[in-house]
Amino acid sequence: MTVRVESKAGPYEVHISRDALEALPAQLEGANRVALIHSPPLEDVAHHVSGLLDGLEVLRIEVPDAEEAKTPGILAWCWDQLAEAGFTRNDVVVGLGGGTATDLAGFVAASWLRGVAYVSVPTSVLGMVDAAVGGKTGINLTAGKNLVGAFHEPRAVICDLSLLDSLPAAEVRSGMAEVIKCGFIADPQILRLVSDDLDDSLDVTSIRFAELVRRAITVKAEVVAADLTERTSIGADIGREALNYGHTLGHAIEARERFTLRHGEAISIGMVFMAEVSRRLLGLDDETAAMHRELLGGIELPLRYEQEAWPELRRLMSLDKKSRGSTLRLVGLSAQGRPRILADPDERVLEEAYASLA
């Protein structure tokens, strides 16, 4: 199955199946070289992908695993590899890996020669439903996550579900946090599918899981089509910023943990926090607020963080990309499927909501 992303930068398709890799060669027509950026655990998969690209010169660039790949030093090293290979604007960068690898590879493509073609091949749930679709690319700094980056849409996204078969259960749960987020902000059917069978929702070979991935990607595709570069104004439909539900506190926790905590685990805490903020400031009903804890806790994601960390987390939240000047902007919910911007929310309410996570 495919999901078409009608982006203003140009339409592209997300291929979703257990043999989606077969669609990759057709996305590379016209290229002489392919830079295949991947992490060490995916060496065998990278070898298999290289074998599919008969007739093309494949430059394999192995980068560190997880967030260690998203650094200025690794980015510069990738540029050096492309320079030595004589990489041109006719060539294509392919990002193979989880969300961190595709974030890095996308930024390499966006920045090399002011932009070359890019194809994303995510190998994690998080990569498929979040990082690979929508054109956001970037790297981390010590000061925070994704502070340097660019919008650069892929030519195509290849979501081969068979690549998830060996994924650790904790990584599947982490990715499912982003799926559940899509349910709260736009598609309540996702929440029903997860609630009806938690175990089947985490089974990467199940029909239910494939449908959850498709629905989450569809949510992101529709949001991105309307608002590629996150040009949201207060008081209007919030567009792409809706995708940041739970991310302001989540990113702050990740930064405090020096990116050693899984993204979905941090975002889970962030969503529970925002449900409590929304209940107090936007009139979110108690049932939906409680559903955050039921679903996220039901798949064994964390619901709380260190209480004494609040002052530092609040400082880190001010570095968030959604902030405007000194004004903090949060994404909240007034109801299921109705995300709203909270600009400069009451500090006492934020502190009270965080304390309620204890």
| Residue positions forming the annotated binding site for Zn(2+) | 178, 247, 263
Annotated binding site: 65-70, 123-124, 136, 145, 178, 247, 263
The 10 Å Cβ neighbour count of residue 65 is: 16
**Buried (b) or exposed (e) across 23-56, using 16+ Cβ within 10 A?**
bbeebbeebebbbbbbbeebeebbeebbeebeeb
Annotated binding site for NAD(+): 65-70, 123-124, 136, 145
Q: Do 149 and 137 meet the contact criterion of CB atoms below 8 Å apart?
A: yes
